[in-house]
Amino acid sequence: MAIMNEYSDMIEKALSEFLVKDKDIGGLVKSIEYSLMAGGKRVRPKLVLEFCRACGGEPENALDFACAVEMIHTYSLIHDDLPCMDNDDMRRGKPSNHCAFGEDTALLAGDALLTLAFETVLSENAVRATSPDSVARAGRLLANFAGVQGMVGGQFIDLSIEGKKVESDILEKMYGKKTGALLKASCMLGCIAANADVEKIRAAEIFGGKIGLVFQIIDDVLDVVSTTDILGKPVLSDEQNEKTTFMSLYGEEKCREIAAVLTDEALTALDVFGTDKSVGLRDFAVELLNRKK
C-alpha cells in the first residue's frame, strides 16, 4: 500500500475529530475512541480516497465518506467480538472493547459508531465537498451494502453455517457479503465523491468484490501455512474451530491459483480509470495477493 499510505495521517486526524467532548457520556466516547483509534490498516478509507483520485477527484473531498466506512468497519468488529457472537477477548493485540469497557458500553459504542457513520457521510462538510445528491446516494449505498442484504446479512450466514461443512458457493456468498460488501462500498463511494459515471462506479464494485475474495482466500492460506510469529495471531484457528475455509475446500496450490486469477480480473476492472491514475490501486491489489501476514 506504499502509495495509498500517503493518506494515513489525513485519515487518523479526521477520525479523531469526530470524537465529541461531553462529560456525561465521557465513558462511551472513550470506548468509541479505544476501538476507532486502535490503528488498523485503514484499508477501506484508503480505498475511498484512492478511488476518488483515480476518478480525477480531490481525495480530500472524499474524506467524510472514508471516515464513515471506517466507522462501520469498527462497529462491526466491536459487535462481532461480543460474547454472544465470536466471543473474542483480544483484538489488535489489546483486550477487545467489551473486555475493556463492559458488554453494555461496547454494544452502545457499536450502535453509536454505526449511527455516526451516517451522520458523517451526510455531513454539511460532505455536502459542500460534493453535493446533496452525492451524499444521499453515498449514504443510501453504504446502508444497502452494510445492512441486511450486505455485511449484516453475511454475518448472519456465517453464524448459520457455523460448524457445518458447506460448498464453495455458500462460502463465497457469505464472504461476498460479510467482508466483500463494505470493500465494494468503499471503492464505489470514492467514485461517487468524484461524481464519476456509472461505468466507473460499476468497475469499482467489481474491483472491490474481487479483492475482497482474494483477501479472504489468502487469509485462509496463511492461517495454515504461516507461523504465529509472522501472523501476529494464532495459526490453525480455523481448523480448531472446524470451519469450512477455502483451504479446506481447495488446498494451498489451488487457492493461490484462484487468488491470482481474481487479482488479474480486479486489475482488468481498473482499465477504465487509465493506467496512470490506477497505479496505487494496482500496487495495492498485487500486495494483497503476495502478503505474508
First to last CA, the chain: 14
Closest C-alpha among 65, 60, 102 to residue 83: 102
Segments in the chain forming alpha helices (H): 8-16, 26-36, 43-54, 63-81, 97-101, 103-121, 124-129, 132-146, 151-160, 168-175, 181-193, 198-225, 228-231, 237-240, 246-250, 252-269, 279-290
How many residues sit in the footprint of its own copies (CB under 8 A)?
Answer: 53
From residue 103 to residue 122, what is the string marking binding to its own copies with x (rule CB under 8 A)? Answer: xxx-xx-xxx-xxx-xx--x
Report in angstroms how near the CB of residue 160 gets to its own copies at its nearest: 7
From residue 124 to residue 163, what is the string marking binding to its own copies with x (rule CB under 8 A)? Answer: x--x---xxx-xx--xx-xxx-xxxx--xx-xxx-xx---
Q: Does 201 bind its own copies (CB under 8 A)?
A: no
Of 173 and 202, CB closest to its own copies? 173
Give yes or no for a contact between 53 and 114, defined as CB atoms under 8 angstroms apart.
no
Q: Does 99 bind its own copies (CB under 8 A)?
A: no
Report in angstroms how near the CB of residue 107 gets to its own copies at its nearest: 6
Per-residue DSSP letters for 124-169? HHHHHHS-HHHHHHHHHHHHHHHSTTTHHHHHHHHHHTTTS---HH
Report in angstroms how near the CB of residue 284 gets to its own copies at its nearest: 27
Report in angstroms how near the CB of residue 252 gets to its own copies at its nearest: 29
Q: Which of residues 244-273 bind its own copies (CB under 8 A)?
A: none
User: Hey, what's the cell of 237?
Assistant: 484457528
Q: Does 182 bind its own copies (CB under 8 A)?
A: no
User: Hey, what's the cell of 16?
Assistant: 479523531
Quick check: helix, strand or coil at residue 280? Answer: helix
Q: Does 234 bind its own copies (CB under 8 A)?
A: no
Q: Which of residues 65-84 bind its own copies (CB under 8 A)?
A: 75, 79, 82, 84
For the four alpha carbons of 284, 173, 67 and 189, in that order, the dihedral sign comes to positive
Of 115 and 237, CB closest to its own copies? 115
Selected from 6, 27, 231, 282, the binder of its own copies by CB under 8 A is 27
Question: Which positions touch its own copies (CB under 8 A)?
Answer: 20, 22, 24-25, 27-29, 32, 75, 79, 82, 84-85, 102-105, 107-108, 110-112, 114-116, 118-119, 122-124, 127, 131-133, 135-136, 139-140, 142-144, 146-149, 152-153, 155-157, 159-160, 173
